[in-house]
Amino acid sequence: NAGVTQTPKFRILKIGQSMTLQCTQDMNHNYMYWYRQDPGMGLKLIYYSVGAGITDKGEVPNGYNVSRSTTEDFPLRLELAAPSQTSVYFCASSADVQETQYFGPGTRLLVL
Amino acid sequence: GEDVEQSLFLSVREGDSSVINCTYTDSSSTYLYWYKQEPGAGLQLLTYIFSNMDMKQDQRLTVLLNKKDKHLSLRIADTQTGDSAIYFCAEIRNSGNTPLVFGKGTRLSVIA
């Protein structure tokens, strides 16, 4: 039981490039989340999903897209990377919205 | 206010007790959480309290909840150097587009 896994651990992008951050959970959780953490700040919710095929915007969705084709996977897509997207990205999952969220180890992204 | 508020820094001597405070916003929050983040790592659930409880104790950790003042605290007894980390308070919100809202985190430094 690996919990929540994220790849890659670290990536450098040039402005305008695109990439997909991968997130997988093996706990059969319905809910999955993407957060970003900027230095000295708490976590801001980007997108979340309540189940396969259903996604919703969080607090800071601009510049990102998500999809949820399976229960296990919740990839986050950056289409045109900007320096403002330099951050640490965390994926999380929970059995229900009121249940505890379990976090992945994070992906550190640097956009230059 | 809209934010979950925490003081940003706390410094204690090894062996002393640490108390980290948090003020949350949604009086209907059902669960309140404390997460711990060690350097370069993801968030780890430390403990949580259900809203119908005033106190929860788990080994060296004591959580106190004052619903009237919307105040949550985390007490760490006999603080050790391994407790040095950032501690995030989080609340479940029943409205808006962000199910779980985090404070900015309190950086605990333990001096040997």
* 3-state per-residue secondary structure call for B76-98: ECCCCHHHCEEEEEEEECCCCCC
The per-residue pLDDT for range B83-108, each reduced to its tens digit, is 999 999 998 877 666 778 899 999 99
B16 to chain A, closest Cα gap in Å: 25
Q: Tell me how far apart the alpha carbons of residues B34 and B93 are, in angstroms, rounded to a whole number.
A: 15
The per-residue pLDDT for range A34-69, each reduced to its tens digit, is 999 998 788 999 999 999 999 999 989 999 999 999
Q: Quote the tokens at residue B96.
A: 């808006």
Given a cut of 50, whether residue B69 has pLDDT beyond it is yes
Q: What is the DSSP letter of A84?
A: G
Residue to test with chain A: of B5, B43, B58, B86, most A Cβ within 10 A: B43
Nearest one of A46, A22, A20 to A34, comparing CA atoms? A46
Residue in A41, A58, A103 closest to B43 by CB: A103
Is A48–B45 a contact, with Cβ atoms under 8 angstroms apart?
no
